[in-house]
Structure 1
Amino acid sequence: MAKKAKASKKKKSVRREYTKADVKELRAHSKGKTPVAKIAKLTKRSEGSLRQKALKLGIPLGHRR
Protein backbone atom coordinates (compact mmCIF):
# COMPACT_ATOMS: atom_id res chain seq x y z
CA MET A 1 0.00 0.00 0.00
CA ALA A 2 1.26 3.43 -0.88
CA LYS A 3 1.17 6.09 1.80
CA LYS A 4 -0.44 9.36 0.86
CA ALA A 5 1.55 12.49 1.55
CA LYS A 6 -0.35 14.62 4.00
CA ALA A 7 -0.73 18.15 2.70
CA SER A 8 0.11 20.39 5.64
CA LYS A 9 -0.66 24.06 5.59
CA LYS A 10 2.03 25.92 7.46
CA LYS A 11 1.02 29.31 8.79
CA LYS A 12 2.98 32.00 6.96
CA SER A 13 4.77 34.25 9.41
CA VAL A 14 4.30 37.95 8.87
CA ARG A 15 7.17 40.11 10.06
CA ARG A 16 6.16 43.30 11.81
CA GLU A 17 8.58 45.92 13.03
CA TYR A 18 8.50 46.84 16.71
CA THR A 19 7.25 50.41 17.12
CA LYS A 20 8.23 52.65 20.02
CA ALA A 21 4.81 51.95 21.53
CA ASP A 22 5.42 48.17 21.25
CA VAL A 23 8.76 48.51 23.04
CA LYS A 24 7.17 50.66 25.76
CA GLU A 25 4.44 48.05 26.25
CA LEU A 26 7.02 45.24 26.41
CA ARG A 27 9.01 47.12 29.06
CA ALA A 28 5.83 47.65 31.10
CA HIS A 29 4.97 43.94 30.93
CA SER A 30 8.53 43.09 31.94
CA LYS A 31 8.29 45.34 34.97
CA GLY A 32 4.84 43.91 35.82
CA LYS A 33 6.21 40.34 35.52
CA THR A 34 3.47 39.34 33.06
CA PRO A 35 3.83 35.75 31.75
CA VAL A 36 5.24 35.58 28.21
CA ALA A 37 2.29 33.53 26.94
CA LYS A 38 -0.12 36.28 28.04
CA ILE A 39 2.01 39.02 26.42
CA ALA A 40 2.10 36.97 23.20
CA LYS A 41 -1.70 36.81 23.05
CA LEU A 42 -2.11 40.52 23.83
CA THR A 43 0.46 41.70 21.28
CA LYS A 44 -0.33 39.02 18.64
CA ARG A 45 3.37 38.10 18.44
CA SER A 46 5.13 34.80 19.06
CA GLU A 47 6.80 34.05 22.39
CA GLY A 48 10.10 33.62 20.56
CA SER A 49 9.80 37.06 18.96
CA LEU A 50 9.09 38.67 22.34
CA ARG A 51 11.99 36.86 24.02
CA GLN A 52 14.41 37.89 21.25
CA LYS A 53 13.33 41.54 21.45
CA ALA A 54 13.64 41.53 25.25
CA LEU A 55 17.13 40.02 24.92
CA LYS A 56 18.18 42.77 22.49
CA LEU A 57 16.74 45.45 24.79
CA GLY A 58 18.44 43.87 27.81
CA ILE A 59 15.26 43.50 29.82
CA PRO A 60 14.19 40.36 31.74
CA LEU A 61 11.23 38.42 30.38
CA GLY A 62 9.91 35.14 31.75
CA HIS A 63 11.84 32.45 33.67
CA ARG A 64 11.51 34.30 36.96
CA ARG A 65 10.44 32.29 39.97
Structure 2
Amino acid sequence: MAKKKKVIRREWTKDDVRNLKILAKQKVGVAKIARKLKRTPGATAAKAYTLGVSLDTRG
Protein backbone atom coordinates (compact mmCIF):
# COMPACT_ATOMS: atom_id res chain seq x y z
CA MET A 1 0.00 0.00 0.00
CA ALA A 2 1.33 3.42 -0.96
CA LYS A 3 2.30 5.64 1.92
CA LYS A 4 0.24 8.81 2.11
CA LYS A 5 2.20 12.06 2.14
CA LYS A 6 1.91 13.96 5.42
CA VAL A 7 -0.01 17.20 4.98
CA ILE A 8 1.71 20.15 6.60
CA ARG A 9 -0.49 23.23 6.76
CA ARG A 10 1.31 26.55 6.84
CA GLU A 11 -0.45 29.57 8.30
CA TRP A 12 -0.98 32.52 5.97
CA THR A 13 1.22 35.38 7.16
CA LYS A 14 0.41 39.04 6.60
CA ASP A 15 3.18 39.07 3.98
CA ASP A 16 1.63 36.09 2.16
CA VAL A 17 -1.74 37.83 2.04
CA ARG A 18 -0.19 41.13 0.89
CA ASN A 19 1.75 39.38 -1.89
CA LEU A 20 -1.35 37.47 -2.97
CA LYS A 21 -3.32 40.71 -3.29
CA ILE A 22 -0.52 42.52 -5.13
CA LEU A 23 -0.01 39.69 -7.63
CA ALA A 24 -3.76 39.28 -8.16
CA LYS A 25 -4.04 43.01 -8.97
CA GLN A 26 -1.27 42.57 -11.55
CA LYS A 27 -3.37 39.81 -13.20
CA VAL A 28 -0.72 37.16 -12.49
CA GLY A 29 -2.08 33.62 -12.95
CA VAL A 30 -2.96 31.34 -10.05
CA ALA A 31 -0.17 28.86 -10.84
CA LYS A 32 2.51 31.58 -10.83
CA ILE A 33 1.21 33.14 -7.61
CA ALA A 34 1.10 29.69 -5.98
CA ARG A 35 4.70 28.99 -7.02
CA LYS A 36 5.85 32.35 -5.67
CA LEU A 37 4.10 31.79 -2.33
CA LYS A 38 5.27 28.13 -2.20
CA ARG A 39 1.67 26.91 -2.00
CA THR A 40 -0.64 24.80 -4.14
CA PRO A 41 -2.85 26.50 -6.74
CA GLY A 42 -5.87 25.12 -4.85
CA ALA A 43 -4.80 26.64 -1.53
CA THR A 44 -4.00 29.93 -3.25
CA ALA A 45 -7.35 30.09 -5.02
CA ALA A 46 -9.20 29.15 -1.82
CA LYS A 47 -7.46 31.88 0.18
CA ALA A 48 -8.14 34.46 -2.54
CA TYR A 49 -11.80 33.44 -2.47
CA THR A 50 -12.05 33.86 1.31
CA LEU A 51 -10.42 37.29 0.99
CA GLY A 52 -12.79 38.25 -1.81
CA VAL A 53 -9.85 38.70 -4.21
CA SER A 54 -10.49 38.01 -7.89
CA LEU A 55 -7.84 35.82 -9.54
CA ASP A 56 -6.93 35.23 -13.16
CA THR A 57 -7.63 31.49 -13.36
CA ARG A 58 -6.10 30.95 -16.80
CA GLY A 59 -2.74 29.91 -15.38
Tell me if TM exceeds 0.5: yes
**Superposition TM-score tier, normalisation by shorter sequence:** 0.7 to 0.9
What TM-score does the superposition give when structure 2 sets the normalisation length?
0.83
Q: Distance in 1 between matches of 2:16 and 2:31?
A: 16
Pick the structure with greater CA Rg. 1
Question: Does 1:42 pair with 2:36?
Answer: yes
TM (normalized to structure 1)?
Answer: 0.77
Q: Whose helix proportion is higher, 1 or 2?
A: 2
Identical aligned residues as a percent:
48
Cα distance between partner residues in 1 of 2:57 and 2:51:
16
Q: Does 1:17 align with 2:11?
A: yes
Mapped partners of 1:40, 1:53: distance in 2: 11
SS across alignment from 2:18: helix
Q: Please list every run of 5 or more consecutive structure 2 residues that lacks an aligned counterpart in the other structure.
A: none
Q: Write the distance in 1 (CA, Å) between the matches of 2:39 and 2:8.
A: 10
5+ residue gaps, structure 1, are: 1-6
Greater relative CO (CA pairs within 8 A, separation 6+): 2
